[in-house]
Amino acid sequence: MQNTQWSATSENLDQDCHNWSGGVRFRPSRVAVPSSEEDVAALVRTAARQGRTIRPIGSAHTSSELFVTDDILVSQANLRGMREYDARHHRATVGSGSELTHLSKELQAAGLTLSNFGDVATQTVGGAIGTGTHGSGRELYNLSMMLVGGRLVTAKGEIRTFHVEEEPDFVRALRVSFGTLGILTWATLQLEPLHDLHRQEWCLAFEPCMEALERLAQENRNFDFYWYPRSDEVKLRCINPPGEEKDYGAFARLAKDEIGLPHEVIPQHSDLPYRFEEMEYSLPAEAGPACLRKLRARLRERWRRLVGWRLLYRYIKGDDTWLSEAYGRDSVSISLHQNASLPYWDFFLDLEPIFREHSGRPHWAKKHSLRAAELRPLYPMWDPFLALRQEMDPEGRFLTPYLRGLLGC
């Protein structure tokens, strides 16, 4: 399984586990690697009889403690691959443990593709959906919105089938629920016909970028940018269907130009050798520029000597997923990074209040300090989600101490 220390073909006991960066380490009492959906259901039933908790894990590409447990950890590494597809309606049913990089090659053979990716594509389908992983694009949703149906194992160890057309509210809650409503085994995804994209990267100074920001966001299918604190320069990343790209040579320098399939040109850092810790908040899109300027001023004033990692500014289309960062509002996400081998918490905690001043919601899979009392006012569907979670898992089979503090249950 990607970025972990256990095998995908056997069960291992008494071992240390860690996330992608190495910053989260823990020792579950058992690591189970089921070979089928029925095996997952049997594991949950056994856990219920024994009064134990059970947590699913994908590729562990997260900075948070969502999967940390001292009880049963369930790898989804063997629940992968495309089960079936519908070329007419651009849908496919895939294993929740499928890594996006590998799955994309299977979808390619079927003439299909995901609509978007993040910078990294080693996440599993279940992990990406469950935490609201996203790429960037003013008219592009986060990846959880791909989920339109599938199967999951409930806290009773039963296998439940669901479809968005039949249970829209359940799917809206399930899409970003980080494994607290059940263990997703098969996911039916809404996809796109396979197509090429043209990626261009442009370098320029900070102020010219901000002056053109609204136009840049409108003119490109995918658009985001890095700001580099030590040089005060910006790198624009613009991705469009071939023939629809714009020429920004009048105010920026072209640094990269390539055409390929979406999974080839959007995610560029899946094999990044440098490990880092990350804090990310999503804000109402209109608050993005002001928040960025405050973060930039604070970082240059206090942290420029200690933090050389770039800051990432992205766009997410508003959605109706109950615990989505972008619930009910078109959003901008801003990510802070620091080398995993260096101190990072003081840096993150110093800048976190600026995010909160601008109505920020933290990314569930990244570092943040918020717990239920602070999170509840940020999500209009918080209470309905908790009520559904209680109904689905009254014994807290899928909860951990971290999740109890996060959700207040």
Query: Within a domain: residue 288?
Result: yes
* CA pair distance 73, 330, nearest whole angstrom: 35
Asked if 119 and 134 count as a contact pair (C-beta separation under 8 A), the reply is no
| H-helix or E-strand spanning residue 313 | strand 311-316
Mean pLDDT value across residues 218-230: 98
Mean pLDDT value across residues 147-152: 98
Of the listed ranges 7-16, 30-39, 142-151, 253-262, the least confidently predicted one is 7-16
Token pair of 196 as six digits: 């090429």
- Asked if 212 and 268 sit in the same domain, the reply is yes
CB-count exposure of residue 228 (10 Å: 0-12, 13-18, 19+): middle
Asked if 93 and 79 count as a contact pair (C-beta separation under 8 A), the reply is no
Query: Residue 363 CA to chain centroid, in angstroms?
Result: 8
Pairing verdict, β 54-57 and 72-75: parallel
Percentage above 70 pLDDT, the chain = 96
Strand partners, 367: 279
Q: Domain of residue 293: give its range.
A: 197-362
- Asked if 357 and 243 sit in the same domain, the reply is yes
pLDDT category, 301, cuts 50, 70, 90?
A: very high
- Asked if 218 and 315 sit in the same domain, the reply is yes
- Asked if 107 and 222 sit in the same domain, the reply is no
What's the one-letter identity of residue 108? Answer: Q
DSSP tag of 300: I
**1-56: pLDDT as tens digits:** 333 333 333 454 447 899 888 889 999 999 999 999 999 999 999 999 999 999 99
Asked if 134 and 123 count as a contact pair (C-beta separation under 8 A), the reply is no
Here the CATH number for the domain that contains residue 333 is: 3.40.462.20
Query: Within a domain: residue 372?
Result: no
Nearest by Cα to 245 from 314, 199, 209: 199
Nearest by Cα to 69 from 407, 397, 408, 409: 397
* CA pair distance 343, 346, nearest whole angstrom: 7
Here the CATH number for the domain that contains residue 48 is: 3.30.43.10
Token pair of 246 as six digits: 């714009």
* CA pair distance 193, 107, nearest whole angstrom: 10
Token pair of 248 as six digits: 């920004």
User: Cβ of 38: how many Cβ atoms within 10 Å?
Assistant: 12
Mean pLDDT value across residues 161-166: 98
User: Residue 314 above 90 pLDDT?
Assistant: yes
The confidence score (pLDDT) of residue 104 equals 97
Maximum distance among all Cα pairs of the chain, rounded to whole angstroms:
68
- Asked if 71 and 214 sit in the same domain, the reply is no
Token pair of 102 as six digits: 């590998």
**182-201: pLDDT as tens digits:** 999 999 999 999 999 999 99
- Asked if 109 and 126 sit in the same domain, the reply is yes
pLDDT, the chain, mean = 94
Nearest by Cα to 57 from 65, 47, 67: 67
Domain boundary pick from 42, 58, 75? 75
Asked if 347 and 318 count as a contact pair (C-beta separation under 8 A), the reply is no
The confidence score (pLDDT) of residue 167 equals 98
Query: Residue 406 CA to chain centroid, in angstroms?
Result: 17
pLDDT category, 268, cuts 50, 70, 90?
A: confident
Alpha carbons within 13 A on the beta-carbon side of 371 = 7
Question: What is the count of structural domains for the chain?
Answer: 3
Domain boundary pick from 194, 221, 243? 194
Q: What is the pTM of this model?
A: 0.94
Percentage above 90 pLDDT, the chain = 90
Domain boundary pick from 362, 381, 401? 362
Query: Within a domain: residue 409?
Result: no
**93-122: pLDDT as tens digits:** 999 999 999 999 999 999 999 999 999 899
The confidence score (pLDDT) of residue 6 equals 35
Token pair of 122 as six digits: 């080693």
